[in-house]
Amino acid sequence: MSRIFTVPFASVYPLYVTKVEKKGRTKAELDQVIEWLTGFGTAALKDHLAAGTTFEDFFADAQLNPQASSITGVVCGVRVENIDDPLMQKIRYLDKLVDELAKGKPMDKILRA
């Protein structure tokens, strides 16, 4: 079991916000990307952040977008589509979407529209 599974999502979320804001994107865009992937609207996301939900519980509660499997590419030197552990793959999907947002990719492409 990877250590990231037990890390509170609320401890990583501010890092995501900082990453995208440094590149000229907004917290609202980040929240939109998270909602697309997990199904968590603003209220649900705030609840998870306030509760200190771990990544494991965060993704256990999520309704993963059916198009999530179309997320491909490399995160931390590993191809996300080749990750065997389902939870780790979901975490890396999120990382990949945050990377795409920070790199300035258009929202319709990030959201696989």
Residues 105 and 113: their CA atoms lie apart, in Å, by 13
User: Could you tell me which of 62, 89, 85 has the C-alpha nearest to residue 75?
Assistant: 89
pTM of the complete model: 0.94
pLDDT digits 0-9 by tens, 38-85? 999 999 999 999 999 999 999 999 999 999 999 999 998 999 999 999
Tell the residue number behind the tokens 């990030």, with chain if given.
Answer: 110
In DSSP terms, which residues pair with 54 in a beta bridge? 8
Count of residues making up the chain: 113
User: Which residue bears the tokens 């947002």?
Assistant: 101
Domain 3-104 part of CATH 3.90.550.10: no
